[in-house]
Amino acid sequence: MEMEKHMEEKIKAVLEKIRPSLQAHGGDVEFVSVSEDGVVKVRLTGACGGCPMSQMTLTMGVERALKAEIPEVKKVEAA
């Protein structure tokens, strides 16, 4: 449980770093959950929520940033 809490804090810190680039396009990202096996769930909101490129943003932007800083992250999925 303590490990998950620590990982959640690290994930939120990385999301704060990438949030301005999403907000510049009228969108945002919210942390939803992280599983024991390293699957992070996030919700893209605002303009990102309905954007046809949102899956690419999720994998190439959010997932790449999280994996680069937190090796325990295996995958990022939309919630």
Q: How many CB atoms lie within 10 A of CB 78?
A: 13
Position 2 scores a pLDDT of 66
Distance, first Cα to last Cα, the chain: 21
pLDDT of res. 48 = 84
12-43, pLDDT tens digit by residue?
A: 999 999 999 999 989 999 999 999 899 999 99
Q: Which domains does the chain have, with CATH numbers?
A: 2-78 (3.30.300.130)
What strand order describes the sheet that includes 27-34? 27-34, 39-46, 75-78
Instruction: State how far the alpha carbon of 26 is from the alpha carbons of 41, 45, 70, in Å.
Output: 20, 9, 26
pLDDT higher than threshold 80 for residue 75:
yes
Rounded Cα–Cα distance for residues 79 and 58 (Å): 11
pLDDT at 3: 66
